[in-house]
Structure 1
């Protein structure tokens, strides 16, 4: 088996590049067949993952943050390769649904020696994702958070808080229609988040009951809120304690479709686009994912 490490050199403000000597030493000392490739531009990880997966099945390591992981997924989804994560970004949210909120020091070697397990992945409109996709206020927060993450000494969680505060200043509630397996919810809404993982936004515990292999989306729907109510909501949202808040619904469904009257921000694992329709599809236990040997 070939070990392919796709490294985003700008993720984690250079943290990922410092992992290269450890990868070389560990794999070289064990005569593992491996290759290290660094990305040069946005979307490059997708191109690399697709090219290498087309050549031969391999274990592909996404070395970076959740954005890098999303790019790698979109290059290798549906192939015979497996996916692994070496967290090196500012958020590293998806891996927390696998191993918990604390990243151990031996995550590199534990992942290389990990075992594969079939988990779910998903698609919204024309792009795959593995963690959480959201519409509305939270997608705007993700967009603003991306700017703050680029600043020195700003952690993923602090960047998310700053993103919330800046988004409140331009807060809008939108009329949305959420179509599920056996329910339709229509009205003015603040946000809708649907996903497979539990965390996003640098550790925000948005979908506390989500499972990575149950074949269902977990969904958080939040009714329209005032600016003051948003300030009260998000501290609980970040801790996963929002279920009891009025106007918040935690749901589960295989079918998810969101329609809006006007285009709104859609967040797909950190990528933001504008759309008035988001159609979700889940692929049950279709992705070989490497579980670290911890």
Structure 2
């Protein structure tokens, strides 16, 4: 008997999915599977549900949600023997896309039933974990504005990006990585574990989830014309043609913003205000076991 614990975010993807216990029982017959289903009702609720589920020692915990809900659940499973499963029903679904997990409920549940797994790396930013990416600078401003909109769609993301680009002021930043110290007025500091941000867009198309490295993209202060070019390159997935984006592979980076007290970040597509002006980002190699094709 395989014990699977599902954690469902009922409002992921604008709440248009119908995933619940009745639907899931159609894909996981009672003769073979024991299933339990919990519903996440507010931010960080999935963390509490996962911690409770872990005490029952399931074979795997499956997230039915987007990157934010996945982050809350997966953060509790690092270096445990419990596998993470994903049924992607969020807006962006960047991590699921990188793992080739389809949005189709039939196909996603088939992957879970097959039980094939791989270990992926995990990023850590201060006391928070990330599985797709973390961003400082305009990236965080975009997510903050994006979360203020009533609908999380690609149009909302583009709208937030344009508004943020106009309003955002680059900040003095000191970066320490690979035995280098870089002083810059940072427009964007983007650190990625996966090859997709969501909505099919990427700043790090060659990133790997299990190479033991994080992909760092640093973009310093830009003029209006360069901002327009950057936006076009991101949307068309041709960031490698934007010469002002500096790309480096790292295992660790320290970020300090001496003129700030607190630092806005986005972590796996969710806005966070870190109560410090110093950030350390590191990697946990093969820290999470995930059900994949």
Cα drift, residue 231 of structure 1: 1.9
SS of residue in 2 equivalent to 1:199? coil
SS of residue in 2 equivalent to 1:231? helix
1:11-22 map, 5 Å = 11-18=12-19, 20-22=21-23
Cα drift, residue 273 of structure 1: 1.3
Cα drift, residue 20 of structure 1: 4.3
Cα drift, residue 205 of structure 1: 0.8
Contact 1:48 1:75 (C-alpha < 8 Å) held by counterparts? no
Contact 2:142 2:157 (C-alpha < 8 Å) held by counterparts? yes
Contact 1:46 1:76 (C-alpha < 8 Å) held by counterparts? no
Partner of 2:134: 133
Partner of 1:76: 77
Contact 1:171 1:227 (C-alpha < 8 Å) held by counterparts? no
Partner of 1:266: 265
Contact 1:206 1:238 (C-alpha < 8 Å) held by counterparts? no
Structure 1 residue 164 corresponds to structure 2 residue 161: yes
Cα deviation digits, residues 216-236 of structure 1 (max 9, x gap): 101111111123321221120
Cα drift, residue 28 of structure 1: 2.5
The verdict on how the C-alpha distance between 1:105 and 1:33 changes in structure 2, with shifts beyond 3 A counting, is closer
SS of residue in 2 equivalent to 1:28? coil
The verdict on how the C-alpha distance between 1:105 and 1:4 changes in structure 2, with shifts beyond 3 A counting, is closer
Cα deviation digits, residues 183-220 of structure 1 (max 9, x gap): 33211120111021122253321111110001110111
**Which of these residues, 236, 239, 261, is aligned with residue 236 of structure 2?**
239
Structure 1 residue 291 corresponds to structure 2 residue 267: no
Cα drift, residue 19 of structure 1: 5.4
Q: TM-score scaled to structure 1, two decimals?
A: 0.90
Partner of 1:111: 111
Which stretches in structure 2 are left out of the alignment for 5+ residues? none
Contact 2:196 2:204 (C-alpha < 8 Å) held by counterparts? yes
267-276 vs 35-44, which moves further: 267-276
Partner of 2:36: 35
CA–CA distance in 2 between the matches of 1:68 and 1:237?
A: 25
Cα drift, residue 107 of structure 1: 3.0
Structure 1 residue 192 corresponds to structure 2 residue 189: yes
Contact 1:120 1:282 (C-alpha < 8 Å) held by counterparts? yes
Aligned length: 287
Contact 2:77 2:288 (C-alpha < 8 Å) held by counterparts? no
CA–CA distance in 2 between the matches of 1:201 and 1:225?
A: 24
Which stretches in structure 1 are left out of the alignment for 5+ residues? none
Cα deviation digits, residues 50-77 of structure 1 (max 9, x gap): 2211331431111111110011112222
SS of residue in 2 equivalent to 1:112? helix
6-15 vs 232-241, which moves further: 232-241
Cα deviation digits, residues 156-181 of structure 1 (max 9, x gap): x2221011111123121111122212
CA–CA distance in 1 between the matches of 2:280 and 2:118?
A: 27
Contact 2:4 2:58 (C-alpha < 8 Å) held by counterparts? no
The verdict on how the C-alpha distance between 1:106 and 1:246 changes in structure 2, with shifts beyond 3 A counting, is same
